[in-house]
Chain A
């Protein structure tokens, strides 16, 4: 996870949080196997951007990094730290000089790293070579503030905190790695800043209860992302859907589940979703769809497009092949 690779280790380095907000959290790919105890999965919302950030600093995909929502955060390096920033289009400044995202940067002791407000997208990912060093809880370091679990004692990050960077072999290259350009990312996987996005979903369990017409109406509607959205759920507003009045016995909820509460306005469950619930569900947005939702800001417009389970698997396999190939190319 965040454990250093074997071999001789260099002196320990850290990133000091000089300016931070509650939307900046230590995350990894999530905590699995604990939902039967009521713990949600947590983890990065835009997993593709997070994996690329880790690849750019030669980390494993599971390494602990920072998910930065909103932006406007500042860091100071203690010792020598390799960093890379991916995801939302937040301006990156190293000692006041503008740097591009999607490349690794070498920070020396005392260097100042500043990340401004996002121009497109919501979440950027900052990875450090070696990963941040935190003790895992139930197999993951992912922060879930609602549960008080993960990250630094399950609490919001505080200004002044020094996040220790896991040491790794001194032999590890500190050469700057960069993607030829953000555009080398396949178009279908690029972070879109479009006014209207199509989000794939798989139709789900309560079709019979909700009625056959609902699937068509859900796909005809245009939805606007609401400001009340957070890591638990993305709230949407469109033409209200008819809701069957019957209450369900609470049942397990998966990532991306599209809940339909009594007001007929869907809520898409994101990474910090509750583990069980009794609202009927239209289906679930695919993982690739969740990645995209993770970069949608309030006011963005969405349309939902049904894919079969087989299509979802094919899309996921194609994406995994592209991403793992790119990760290998970056690592050389």
Chain B
């Protein structure tokens, strides 16, 4: 786990490469993951079938009948050589250059109605950590999260990291149906269920704004690397925004 061994390019399949930027995931690594994904999208476009950014890595799936892997590796080496500079800029908080600004991502505020009726585990999670429900809501909503990965289901964004004081292990029994919009935590991650699905995370509330909507273009506002904050809302506001009870 030596940072100096990174970044690493490894074969994932006949037409797929995995680029590990660091052995761990933190906001700085995530900024690099996002920057690299954007650069690759811009430079190689249709020669790439997929770019999947996640935590500390980027998976590239490319059209290997049209793009030679050695060319791809040259392009990657070029981009990876620019990474340390990017890290330095973001450390100093200078966002004047375009690439640094690009890599900082968007901040998206998501309304959340924290309540027993939308978050059946709210009281139990608070009790487990010897907190009042209001303290739990405060701790969950004051933290600014980052999208570390998107997967599991369309639009499901893994947000990190919740304050250690409220980190909560998954439920021992999976719920067969978690309602769409449910805001939940598991260990030090939090997420919004974009659609109704089975799930084992602890439910704290509900976000009435759809995170994933195929009728929209793009269907998803969030990308890996973006920042998210939950804004507590009252019942009336929740219903006004289209929340379901």
Binding site for B on A (CB under 8 A): 32-39, 41, 137-138, 147-149, 202-205, 249-257, 274-277, 281, 283-284, 286-287, 309, 312-313, 316-317, 320
Contacts and interface: CB of A to CB of B under 8 A. Distances in A.
The 10 closest A-B CB pairs, nearest first, are A252-B59, A252-B52, A284-B13, A276-B151, A312-B14, A205-B10, A254-B16, A249-B55, A254-B13, A251-B57
A100 to B, nearest CB: 31
Chain B interface size range: 35 or more
A277 B218 CA distance: 24
Interface in B35-70: 37, 49-59, 61, 64-65, 69
B13 A283 contact: yes
B56 A249 contact: yes
Interface stretch (B74-82, B93-101, B152-160, B167-175): B152-160
B11 A203 contact: yes
A255 B16 CA distance: 9
B65 A309 contact: no
Given A39-B154, A276-B52, A148 B10 contact: no
Given A37-B154, A37-B219, A249 B64 contact: no
A252 B55 contact: no
A250 B65 contact: no
Contact of A284 (B16, B37, B55, B223): B16
B186 interface: no
Contacts of B212: 37-38
B11 A204 contact: yes
A137 B64 CA distance: 25
Contact of B57 (A32, A204, A249): A249
B214 interface: yes
Nearest to B212: A37
Contacts of A251: 18, 52, 54-57, 59
B65 A316 contact: yes
A137 B216 CA distance: 11
B64 A147 contact: no
Contacts of B223: 36
Interface in B4-30: 10-16, 18, 24-25
B224 interface: yes
A287 B14 contact: yes
Nearest to A310: B69
Given A253-B59, A287-B15, 18 more contacts: A34-B154, A36-B50, A38-B153, A41-B50, A137-B214, A147-B154, A250-B54, A251-B52, A254-B12, A254-B13, A254-B16, A254-B50, A256-B13, A256-B14, A275-B150, A276-B52, A309-B69, A317-B65
Contact of A252 (B11, B25, B50, B219): B50
Contacts of A313: 14, 64-65, 69
B52 A257 contact: no
A249 B33 CA distance: 14
B221 to A, nearest CB: 10
Contacts of B25: 249
A39 B50 CA distance: 11
22 contacts: A32-B50, A33-B49, A33-B50, A34-B154, A35-B50, A36-B51, A37-B150, A37-B154, A205-B10, A205-B18, A249-B54, A250-B54, A251-B56, A251-B57, A251-B59, A252-B57, A254-B13, A254-B61, A255-B61, A257-B13, A275-B150, A309-B69
